[in-house]
Amino acid sequence: MNEAVSGQVSRRGLLGVAGAGLAAASFSPAGAANTAPPATRTAGARRRLGSLEVSSVGLGVQNMHRTYQTTIPDRAEMIRIIRAAYERGVTLFDTAEAYGPFEDELILGEAAQPFRHQVVITSKFGWNIGPDGKRDAGDPLNSRPEHIKAAVEGSLKRLRTDRLDMVYQHRVDPAVPIEDVAGAIKDLKAQGKVLHWGLCEMGLETLRRAHAELPVTAVQNEYSMLWRGPEAEVLPLCEQLGIGFVCWSPLGVGFLTGAIDAQTAYAPGDIRAGETRFARENITANLALVSLLKRWAAAKQASLAQIALAWLIAQKPWIVPIPGTTQMAHMTENTGAMAVRFTPSELRELNAAVAAIRVKGDRLPPPVQAFSGVEAPPRRS
């Protein structure tokens, strides 16, 4: 049964497990003392988002309270996965108050306690969520300074920490100048409650203004072989300004692992059912990406997921994917991407092959897409 319906472990097959094992085997030199996460001993397994050093692959803690299929994962297992990710070298853990709301921050806060000071924890504000976890039905966004500060206080408590290593504006609030948002972050930084900040899915001019007001450490946008939109303008601007880039949905909500095909049926509430890139009239053409990944996975003795993640890592030294999962085997597989390498000629060949495939359909349902690329209003005089 397809995992989009069943949620079972088998979605990536034996090649994925074998590839993860091969990648993991290359992490630790013979005789190396096991005193640090494996990635800290692997060349190329760490990189910088601005001045913030993180692992080359992070862990997105978004669906640990509820999967795409709307099933509820076992909380104890989610904690084990987070802790195992750290043991495999992951030092970037990303969540948000909106995930749940609040539930994924609570899970990460509990899981990260044993190694809190060895990792980077990031969260997000910007949705109009009250302290009771209820969303405002009338005005979905809220980046007023007083709300930002209250949201960060809530995140700190749920994450059981005294500071957020980085906090993002989850979506741009069209009613609040970005300079006002930066001012709230300045206050939080002065108090030691926030160390770095970033923006998600923002308009380009908003990013320029935000960075001019208070240097931005990272941008978080969707980016994968399935959605390459940031390549046109966002990535060049990040490079120009010296801003890191974090990729959400780096596996195309499971598509790039081979989990979705033309026969896939979606459970009620699964957001992928509303993404036209997976509609029957488009998915056959888009499956060319999966075929390409299969060829490279066989050549590299890796899994499809590892090739897709390694491709992102290879694009720029300041790009970090944050795949999410609720399965231990998939986390192990994903972190194995840190050991996959492409020669310059291989990367040129793979880039050309990816560019030759024209992805059909939209990446998000229109009501969700409407929150991306928004520009903040002018600063009030």
Alpha helical stretches, state H, the chain: 3-6, 13-25, 75-87, 103-111, 145-158, 178-190, 204-213, 234-241, 280-300, 304-315, 328-335, 344-355, 366-369
Return the DSSP state at 197: E
In the DSSP assignment, the letter for residue 227 is: -
Contact present, 47 and 56 (Cβ < 8 Å):
yes
Rounded distance between C-alpha atoms, residue 250 and residue 232, angstroms: 17
Say if residues 360 and 289 touch (Cβ distance below 8 Å).
Answer: no
Decide the pairing of beta strands 46-49 and 52-55: antiparallel
What's the full length of the chain, in residues? 381
For 170, residues 6+ apart whose C-beta sits below 8 A from its C-beta are 96, 98, 124, 125, 126, 127, 200
Amino acid at 304: L
Q: Does residue 99 carry a catalytic annotation?
A: yes
Q: Out of 99, 168, 223, 266, which one is annotated catalytic?
A: 99
For 377, other C-beta atoms within 10 Å of its C-beta total 14
The CA-atom distances, in angstroms, between 259 and each of 8, 92, 226, 349 are 11, 25, 14, 25
State the Cα–Cα distance between residues 230 and 243, nearest whole angstrom. Answer: 13
Instruction: List active site positions.
Output: 99
